[in-house]
Chain A
Amino acid sequence: MTRKASPTIALFPEASFGAALNCVGIAQALRARGARPVFICHAGFSGVFADYGFQEYQLPTNEPLSDSDRQSYWQAFVRRHLPHFRLSPIDQLETYVAPTWQAIVDTAVNAEAPLRQLLARLKPDAVVLDNVIMFPAIAAAGCPWVRVVSCAETELPDAEVPPYLSGMAADDPQREAFEARYLSASAPAHDRFNRFRADSGLAPLPKGLFLETSPDLNLLLTPTIVRRERAEPLDPDRFVYLEGCVRSEGPFEVPVFPRNGGPLVYVSFGSLGAMDVGLIERMLAVFDRMQARFIVNAGGLRDAYRAVPDNVYLDAWFPQPSVVAKSDLFIHHGGNNSFCEALRFGVPSLIMPYCWDGHDNAQRAGETGVGDHIGRDAWTEGGLERAILGLLADDVMRARLRENAARMALTPGTNVAAQAILSLIGT
């Protein structure tokens, strides 16, 4: 089979900004190589990809939620889960992880019929799935499919890799206890998912797993500097490391601060983390007494803030890669995109994780000397200030990160991903 002049690549990211914007980066590189990337998106993400110039196909939903329903959902979600985000990873298993897996299984079940219809109509040359769960329609699409592992590397289990979502070191003595509790907590959702797979013609997955590796191609974002040794190395023909996967955004102009001067620190906990206004307010009080400038992503709750310090600039959205490129320190939640962007631009990470693989990246940042981490609960103002000042003053770390960033810039992950996808469908 020879490569089509303009193959259609259907990208299907989960309904989160990390996966969505990661896929935008890959799609930009595919478009630059003459392919026709299109997006399959969940309700609510229509327009996000069109704004980057990509065709979108929204999955229809049986019961579309009104804006008021969505607000009620989120109000309840935040009220319920904010306290859980202060818990340890193991104590989040029953409180946050298990109900989230149930909700994720719901999305897979609900998407199945419309996704099958859409893929039959689109007839893509390949499907790129950036999610944490399998959609049987993709396996049945009649074309190769690509899995993007856009969470931390822990998403692919291995004896030498710590358990997914644990925030542990590989040799943590509590490892077995965590694994047992994880399997128990996720079992109801997993059993339901396996029944759904069987009904859809797919083999069941081992306990705890919701997504298999692709037989065709798997892309991992994990940059070399934080990569782990595996007991069973991944087959390089099927597993390609991207060295991050950073989209291109427009330039960012650093705002003028009434109290101008000092290093620039960017703070973003993603749209979910931005809901923790109380935590960010406590942080602003610390920032106020420091000789530095802080750019803070306040998400949809910007109006909740008053008397913001003169060395702080709040806004609801930033072109993150362009902001990180101009920053001296990035305080984030350990989302894999944020972590990779910090590495791509040679900026130390101070990670304050609250859920999912943020815990794993926080642990890894400390282990590999590319940053530091602070628990979301029980941090002190002095501790936060010392952590910020320590990272800003660590010239050895900065030099090492700069060298690493220069290496990452030589082979942008977006280009490697696009090339690997096009090679897959050209053979």
Chain B
Amino acid sequence: MQAAARRPRTNHLDLAQRILDVARQRGFEPGARLPEQQIASLCNVSRTPVRAALSLLAGQGVVRWEADTGYHLAIDLAAQPAIAAELPSAEEDELAEAILRDRSARRLDQTVTVAGLMRRYDADRKTVLKALNKLTDENLLDRAPGQSWLFRRTPDDPEAQGESYEFRLLMEPAAILAPGFRLDGARAAALRQGMEVLSALPDANFDTREFQRLDMDFHGMIAEGCANRFVSDALADHLRLRRLPGIYAGVNVFRLRQSLREHLGILDYLESRQYEVAADLLRIHLRLSRNQRPQAASRGAPALFGMIRRPD
């Protein structure tokens, strides 16, 4: 965890991402002006952090500075949905990712302490606390008594995955059907383009990580489009768990391609405002996505679903 000084601050990165989200939602085209005051007002912040965030985006070539007119959008956001992945990450973000990766591989126990993490990652207390707070904000961790934190249960075992799909089957179609659902048209267009590009790749080059990004964005878009804030928040919290490493492991490319086609079909009906059909298709999509692979099988034995206790 070195070179912290060269890394951008988390709040500037978050704001840079929010600026891009606003620009995408409002359909800003390449070359569009990005007045600092307007951006500050849209993002509910002062001009100073906006300037820093725009400078960060300029460094990535996403916006450009012109002496007379200020910042302008330099790219077509609808055609480049993956800007976020290209932004540099803050030190605590990297640490949070490492913590999640190590928990997923069971290198970390369910309970972790600040001191233990400082030792393990050779990081200072402040950075560890920021990373833990970030994971807590994302509902991946809970504060436990003392200086310890407890990982929440994630859908990375068959039983939890089953419960996760049951929850999503209840909530995601309901998100579409709740009165007032609004589709983010620009985000939908960018997603469609991304999914079509991925679908066109041959199996050998199929990018599972890109699938994961598109999948999370697609389902996140549905959650955020819901007019019922409680449904929207509950879904957003749950879907965040799906970004953990290993959640998408083991799904073969055939099913991922099929899943992309199902996403595109649902998008068709969302865009044509046939929400009941979209909700039905979403229900089918979730049922098909639920992994049915048994956990164990052997000659003459009934296939095992779910987990068993550790043998004595």
- Chain A residues with CB under 8 Å of chain B are 14-17, 20, 42-48, 50-53, 65, 67, 69-71, 73-75, 77-79, 82, 100-104, 106-107, 132, 248-251, 253, 255-256, 258, 271-272, 274-278, 299-310, 312-319, 356
Contact = CB atoms under 8 A, between A and B. Distances in A.
A314 B106 contact: yes
Given A53-B258, A82-B311, A250-B256, A67 B302 contact: no
Interface string B301-312: 111111111111
Contacts of B305: 44, 67, 70
A75 B256 CA distance: 33
A171 B309 CA distance: 43
Given A75-B308, A301-B308, A318 B295 contact: no
Interface string B88-124: 0000000000100110011101000000000000000
B208 interface: yes
Given A48-B292, A313-B105, A316-B295, 12 more contacts: A45-B297, A48-B293, A51-B291, A75-B309, A78-B311, A249-B252, A258-B102, A274-B296, A275-B311, A300-B304, A301-B310, A306-B109
Contacts of A65: 302
Interface in B244-283: 245-246, 249-256, 258
A39 B102 CA distance: 39
B151 to A, nearest CB: 12
A356 B250 CA distance: 26
B299 A70 contact: no
Interface of B: 98, 101-102, 105-107, 109, 156-158, 203-206, 208-209, 245-246, 249-256, 258, 291-312
A106 B300 contact: yes
A215 B42 CA distance: 77
B71 to A, nearest CB: 35
Contacts of A312: 105, 107
A213 to B, nearest CB: 19
B252 A52 contact: yes
17 contacts: A15-B298, A43-B303, A48-B293, A53-B258, A69-B302, A73-B301, A73-B302, A79-B311, A103-B301, A249-B253, A255-B101, A258-B98, A272-B298, A274-B296, A300-B306, A301-B310, A315-B249
A51 B302 contact: no
A52 B258 CA distance: 10
A103 B296 contact: no
A133 to B, nearest CB: 9
Contacts of A278: 311
A304 B294 CA distance: 18
A73 B296 CA distance: 12
Closest 4 CB pairs between A and B?
Answer: A47-B292, A44-B303, A103-B300, A300-B295
Contact of B252 (A15, A51, A274): A51
Contacts of B208: 250-251, 253
Contacts of A106: 300
A300 B307 contact: yes
A20 to B, nearest CB: 8
Contacts of B206: 250-251
A102 B300 CA distance: 8
Contacts of A301: 307-308, 310
A78 B295 CA distance: 13
A304 B109 CA distance: 11
A305 B106 CA distance: 7
A260 to B, nearest CB: 12
A185 B42 CA distance: 79
